[in-house]
Structures are given as structure tokens and as C-alpha cells.
Structure 1
């Protein structure tokens, strides 16, 4: 039975959550009526509402930090790996050049 509930559990996008919270804040319908219509528990609505208001408060107080998306993280990891490869190549090339310069200087003496 729990597996059936998990498979049929509805996922709400951020836009849907914001729409529902804003509708609740407008006060045109009671929270109970809104939750029944949207098919969510009142506790879930209040959780979303609290998160929404806290995020707004942080944003207005100047805290612009946000969570990176998995795509952004993957892109940054790929970029970091590529930069490490470039640094490794340049370091190796630099060592080879230094050895060739030092080697040339020793041969002339």
C-alpha cells in the first residue's frame, strides 16, 4: 500500500507551490478549502508558506545566496577538471623547459 502511495504522490513544481501559497495569502478562500481543492494537506501548505516567507525575508535583507542546481554543479566540476588538466600540462611543460635551460647551461661550462 505504501508503495502505491509513493508512486502516485504528486510532485509540485516551485511555480505551483508559489501559486498555491499566494492564493492562500490573498485570503479569497479558507486555507482548508484551498488545500482540499489542490489536494494537499494543510500542514504541507503551511510548510510551503513558511519557506516562501523566509526566502523572501532573506532576499530582502540582502542575502542572495542560493542553492546551485545539479546542472550548474556538473558544469563547474567539468570546468574545474579541465582547468586542472591545463595546469598539469603547463607545469609539466615548465619543468621540461627548466631542465632544458639548466642542461644547456651546464654543457657550456
Structure 2
């Protein structure tokens, strides 16, 4: 009969790895306790160390870039509107002068 496969969440995996790395619980004890193969444990550990730098990177960096891009687009749109408005006001003043209103 096959063993039922356990699907561990990321937090659970980190907790198990932490017990080994910080609390110095032997891998064999952890594997017995959680019904893990040692290869699975070491694969988790490898992934953890390879992706560990991501924990220290800013998560909002991509959001900030998107916001900065949107802000620059809005600023350029506003500048274009101001230029059009300025041209319209200039033509309006010229028309009023031509009609003798000003």
C-alpha cells in the first residue's frame, strides 16, 4: 500500500528547516517525525538557500516602478493639456482684441 503524500505549505517547510538549522534537531529525527525522505528535506534546504536573497529584496520595487511610470505618464499628459490650454487662451485673447472687446 502506498503512503499518503503530505503537501507542506511554505511556512511549514521553513519551520522544519528552522528546527534543523537553529535548534540543531538532526535531519533523521525530523524526517521520522514528518514522514519525509531525507532527499526531500535537502531539496527544501537547497531551495531555501537559493531563494533566500528574495527575502531581503524589496517586494514593492516592481510596484514602485509601475507607479513611477504611471506618474510620469500623467505628468506628460498634464503638460500637454496645459500647452493646449495655453494656445487656446492665446487665440481667445487675440480674438477678443480683434473684436475690440479688450
Distance 2:7 2:15 in 1: 16
Shift of the 39–64 alpha-carbon distance from structure 1 to 2, 3 Å rule, reads same
Residues 19-69 of structure 1, C-alpha deviation per residue, up to 9 Å, x if partnerless? 21122234433x2331232133322211222344452xx59xxx9425x38
- Work out whether 1:24 is the aligned partner of 2:20: yes
Over aligned residues, Cα RMSD in angstroms? 4.2
Distance 1:41 1:52 in 2: 17
Question: Which of these residues, 18, 31, 34, is aligned with residue 30 of structure 2?
Answer: 34
Name stretches of at least 5 consecutive residues in structure 2 with no aligned partner: none
Distance 1:33 1:45 in 2: 11
Aligned pairs, number: 92
Shift of the 47–80 alpha-carbon distance from structure 1 to 2, 3 Å rule, reads same
| Structure 1: 4+ residue segments shifted above 6 A | 72-76
Name stretches of at least 5 consecutive residues in structure 1 with no aligned partner: none
